[in-house]
Amino acid sequence: MKTSALKTILVLAFISLVGISYSQPMGPPPKEKGERKQEKNDNIESMKIAFLTTKLDLTPDEAQKFWPVYNQYSDKLQELRKKRRQDEREAKKNFEDLTDKEVEQAIENDLAFRQKELDLQKEYNVKFKAVLPIKKVSRLYNAEEQFKKVLIDKLRDTKGPKGDK
């Protein structure tokens, strides 16, 4: 009689433990699409900062002067590119319905964007030269291009072979 009572208690205890473990949250709730995108952008930005810091070999004084200027440049460039992507999405969505004149205007807008981007780069080239030696400014431009390649390779590796996701 004692063994059957002990078995019953053990079975009930086991069932209770299983029930309790399933009632506990299984980690953080899934993130919203916007949160995931922001987290991914933050990770990329952190990687870029670390990459540029290594490649430029900034002194503490240079870093203190450089990063505020670079962050301002990066923000303006990102804002400009965001506007361009919105315009491109809108043009692609309605492309078949656009008149020739509207398509021509879209092309003109794209050329104007490219000019604004170049003007911004020229403006900040002067500012970068004011806070860094010219060789480090040159390294900055090379490092930005290298980072793009590294990022593309990393994204390609994450997705795996063609067709995998």
Q: What is the pTM of this model?
A: 0.69
Q: How many CB atoms lie within 10 A of CB 69?
A: 15
> How confident is the model at residue 76, as a pLDDT?
96
> How confident is the model at residue 78, as a pLDDT?
93
> How confident is the model at residue 7, as a pLDDT?
55
Query: Does 7 map to a domain?
Result: no
Query: Does 145 map to a domain?
Result: yes
> How confident is the model at residue 103, as a pLDDT?
86
DSSP 3-state of 10: helix
> How confident is the model at residue 52, as a pLDDT?
94
Q: How many CB atoms lie within 10 A of CB 121?
A: 13
Whole-angstrom Cα distance, residue 39 to residue 56?
A: 26
Query: Does 26 map to a domain?
Result: no
Listing DSSP states for 93-152 in one string gives HTGGG--HHHHHHHHHHHHHHHHHHHHHHHHHHHHHHHHS-HHHHHHHHHHHHHHHHHHH
**Going by C-beta distance under 8 Å and a sequence separation of 6 or more, which residues neighbour residue 147?**
47, 48, 51, 52
DSSP 3-state of 19: helix
The continuous run of DSSP H or E covering 28 comes out as none
- Could you say which residues of the chain have pLDDT below 50? 6, 18, 165
Residue 77's domain spans which residues?
36-159
Least Cα distance to 110 among 87, 94, 126, 90 occurs for 87
Number of domains in the chain: 1
**Going by C-beta distance under 8 Å and a sequence separation of 6 or more, which residues neighbour residue 63?**
53
Query: Does 30 map to a domain?
Result: no
Query: Does 44 map to a domain?
Result: yes
Residue type, 41: N
Query: Does 109 map to a domain?
Result: yes
> How confident is the model at residue 25, as a pLDDT?
55
Query: Does 77 map to a domain?
Result: yes
Query: Does 28 map to a domain?
Result: no
